[in-house]
Structure 1
Amino acid sequence: MSLILTEKRGHVAILTLNRPDTMNPLGAPGDGDQVAEACAAINADREIRCVVLTGAGKAFSAGGDVKAMKERSGAFGGGGVELRDGYRNNIHRVVRSIYGLEVPSIAAVNGAAIGLGCDVACMTDIRIASDKARFGVTFLKLGLIPGDGGAWLLPRTIGMSRACELLFTGDVIDAPTAADWGLVSKVVPHEILMDEALALANRIAQQPPHALRLAKTLLKQGQTTTYDTLMEMSAAAQAIAHLTEDHMEGVDSILEKRPAVFKGA
């Protein structure tokens, strides 16, 4: 079954992890190619200004396929070199592609987000949780470590102390705890999760698309680069933004006391 479904609603793209019968496991052969293709299409589509990522069925994603691990098959088969290459060329393509989305991304976490599934949610910019959502970084319970970049991103998301607690215990936390720890922005009733995510996505999509992509790039680069480097990047990005028609539309809308209509020009 295809891992991912793509739907476009106006300026918003919806990506759905689509293996509901098995709680949307990730990492089967070809998954990286599918996610990379979907994300590349979004990056190339200048009409898209925001992405919502969710899961089909009762889970967001239960992470890696434990049955395949037991059988040492699929992405988890072969010797050490083959396993390493499977991570680099397949599983890492999943997380790199989501993290590499140029437009703002929102995870609508509809259920369990465990292991790789939790890390995938963290690759998005904003997370909204259903009151039925659960989060866990349970690699150690399988005798494994976060092999997908979670050890880099999780401390940047919830801080080192919380990240260590979540990883070292293997505990699974509920949605209110995730909100308290800053793993998600808010928790909403399960029945309105997608309505809330799409409402937020559509508010974001009202912003000028070129400046929106530039702003996301600066925020991401600001996590790892120096202050002086970011200042140089900001000056260059701002110079580009000043020359857009959307900048003039924003100025005119303020002077004319009306809502702006940004067209990506």
Structure 2
Amino acid sequence: MTDPAVPALTDALLSVDGRVATLTLNRDDVRNALTGSALVDDIVAVVDWINAGADVSVLVVTGAGTAFSSGGNVKDMRDGAPPFGGPVEQVARQYRHGIQRLPLALDGLEVPAIAAVNGPAIGAGCDLACMCDLRIAGQSAVFGETFVNLGIIPGDGGAWFLQRLIGPAAAADMTFTGRLVKADEALALGLVSRVVPDADLVATAAAMAAEIAAKPPLTVRHTKRLMKMAQRTALPDFLAHCAAVQGMCHTSADHAEAVAAFLEKRPPTYGGR
């Protein structure tokens, strides 16, 4: 079975280098806003493509221009454009079938995702970074869970993700005040794992992605699923599942190759089987 064709995207750019896919949000004209653009559709399409194939081991998400993502388009809010306008039930439906597809897609992504935050990540843009497994910030990155400043809540599920990353108290601080958090504070909070000079951001994210992508491909996907499962599964059930997955790993060709390469002191060559 061959891997599916690379999806055609509207507002984002996709590049593939080895087993690393890089998705660049490409609407700098609206600071990569996630509403009023096709970016949600593009991200969901890339996640579906990665999950349907076996060629990609890591996804890097970044923004073109000066912002990672400004989240919701405030001018569209003023004008009542979708998903913001209409009766309550219509707005709720537009959220469910619009931006809420984003957290569901990224939660189901089978490979690790790295957010390379190149500038402001505001509102839903902050939440998009939080939906990834790892976050690297350039020095000019700024994070803001700013929904309260506009009289709305994190309708994309941001309150679910942020608390799990930095804890309830720190998440409450950011969410209730709507204040902006610069890169160094984000590092201290545990919101990001690294802060690097802006000029080094792309290379740093690429190096981290390449390091992960060099591991046995099936094991990377198994590990990603297990880490997600661990967040919502009782320990006895989780351990039973781990035992079954470990049985699969121990009988894989890549495990045999990893052990042989370790003992022979040589680089391994994995086949994804």
The interval holding the TM-score normalised by the smaller chain is over 0.9
2:211 is aligned to 203
Deviation of 1:30 after TM superposition, in Å, equals 5.0
TM-score w.r.t. the length of structure 2 is: 0.94
Q: Matches of 2:35 and 2:29 in 1, distance apart?
A: 16
Equivalent residue runs for 1:97-246 within 5 Å: 97-246=105-254
Deviations 1:27-84 (A, max 9, x none): 2365443322111111122111111000110000011010100000122122111111
Count, aligned residues: 265
Which shows bigger deviation, 71-80 or 124-133? 71-80
What whole-Å deviation, never above 9, does each CA across 1:176-216 have from its counterpart, x for those lacking one?
A: 00000000001000011000000000000000010100101
Among 246, 249, 259, the alignment partner of 2:257 is 249
**Corresponding residue number in structure 2 for 1:9:** 17
Find the aligned partners of 1:224 and 1:166 in 2 and give their Cα distance: 25
- Quick one: distance in 1 between partners of 2:38 and 2:57? 27
Does residue 33 of structure 2 align to residue 34 of structure 1? no
**Amino-acid identity (%):** 45
Rounded Cα–Cα distance in structure 1 between residues aligned with 2:233 and 2:68: 32
Deviation at 1:225, TM superposition (A): 1.4
Q: Which of 84, 91, 94 lines up with 1:76 in the alignment?
A: 84
After TM superposition, the structure 1 stretch with the greater mean CA deviation from structure 2, 78-87 or 135-144, is 78-87
Give the Cα–Cα distance (whole angstroms) in 2 for the partners of residues 12 and 31 of structure 1: 20
- Which whole-Å CA distance do the structure 2 matches of 1:61 and 1:30 have between them? 13
1-10 vs 62-71, which deviates more? 1-10
The worse-fitting range, judged by mean Cα deviation, of 214-223 and 27-36 is 27-36
Amino acid at match of 2:181: I
Question: Following TM superposition, by how much is the alpha carbon of 1:223 offset from its aligned partner in structure 2, in angstroms?
Answer: 1.4
Native 8 Å contact 1:15 1:54 kept in 2? yes
1:115·1:136 contact (CA, 8 Å) conserved in 2? yes
**In the aligned structure 2, how far is the partner of 1:66 from the partner of 1:23?**
11
In the other structure, the counterpart of 1:93 is: 101
- Decide whether the 8 Å contact of 2:11 with 2:37 is kept in 1: no
Partner residue in 2 for 1:24:
32
TM-score normalized by the length of structure 1: 0.97
Q: Distance in 2 between matches of 1:32 and 1:21?
A: 16
Could you tell me which residue of structure 1 aligns to residue 6 of structure 2? none
Instruction: Identify unmatched segments of 5+ residues in structure 2.
Output: 1-8
In structure 2, C-alpha distance between the alignment counterparts of 1:31 and 1:77, rounded to whole Å? 20
Q: 1:118-164: per-residue Cα shift (whole Å, max 9, x none)?
A: 00000000100000000000000000011111111111100111000
Work out whether residues 184 and 195 of structure 2, in 8 Å CA contact, stay in contact via their aligned partners in 1: yes
Q: Please, which moves more after superposition, 21-30 or 219-228?
A: 21-30
Asked if structure 2 preserves the Cα contact closer than 8 Å seen for 1:29 and 1:74, the reply is no
